[in-house]
């Protein structure tokens, strides 16, 4: 085995200092890219879906990480959902509608969803789509 900290190029060991393997200094940042597909449904008192909306979500729920630190968030640019521990929060980003262009279908679906959510008393169900498209495997019902 060659000495620790040296690299070889074309079979020739490093001579230049910049080629020695030295620990870098740095900071760690993460850009989440693997978004989950979320389908969120408003439920009436009998558990029947009244409206739904699809969003892109991301979740941090690691084995060994206490549940109070778990976080899930999802947005479609108009609605945002946040789950922290046992607390669920839904926001309707009305101010963003004035400044950002939005797809008309998504806008209508979001407004209908919000109206149903208010009318039905804040009962909703979150279906998270797993990698093979199965939405039934993981779901969570929240009452705002």
Q: Does 17 bind another protein (CB under 8 A)?
A: no
> Measured between alpha carbons, how far apart are the two ends of the chain, in Å?
62
Give every CB contact of residue 72 below 8 A, 6+ residues apart in sequence: 57, 58, 59, 60, 61, 81, 82, 83
Residues constituting the chain = 144
- Residue 4 tokens, joined: 């620790």
Q: Residue 52: name the closest of 128, 135, 130, 125 by CA.
A: 125
Nearer to another protein, 72 or 110 (CB): 72
Q: Does 91 bind another protein (CB under 8 A)?
A: no
The C-alpha angle 102, 119, 92, rounded to 5 degrees, equals 30
Binding residue (CB under 8 A) for another protein from 45, 66, 132, 136: 66
Q: Does 87 bind another protein (CB under 8 A)?
A: no
Q: Does 133 bind another protein (CB under 8 A)?
A: no
Nearer to another protein, 5 or 47 (CB): 5
Nearer to another protein, 113 or 128 (CB): 128
Q: Residue 128: name the closest of 46, 36, 41, 53 by CA.
A: 36
Nearer to another protein, 31 or 104 (CB): 31
Q: Does 67 bind another protein (CB under 8 A)?
A: no
Which stretches of the chain bind another protein, using CB under 8 A? 1-2, 4-5, 7-12, 15, 21, 23-32, 58, 60, 65-66, 69-71, 73
């Amino acid at each position: 085995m060659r000495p620790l900290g040296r690299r070889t190029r074309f079979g020739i060991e490093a001579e230049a200092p910049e080629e020695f393997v030295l620990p870098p200094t740095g900071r760690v940042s993460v850009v989440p890219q693997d978004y989950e597909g979320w389908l969120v449904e408003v439920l009436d008192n009998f558990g029947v879906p009244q409206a739904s909306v699809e969003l892109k979500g991301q979740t941090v729920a690691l084995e060994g990480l206490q549940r109070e630190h778990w976080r899930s968030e999802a947005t479609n640019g108009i609605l945002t959902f946040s789950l922290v521990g046992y607390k669920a929060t839904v926001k309707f980003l009305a101010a963003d509608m004035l400044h950002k262009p939005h797809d008309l279908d998504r806008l209508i679906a979001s407004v209908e969803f919000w109206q149903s959510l208010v009318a039905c008393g804040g009962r909703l169900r979150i279906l998270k789509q797993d990698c093979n498209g199965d939405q039934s495997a993981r779901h969570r019902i929240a009452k705002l």
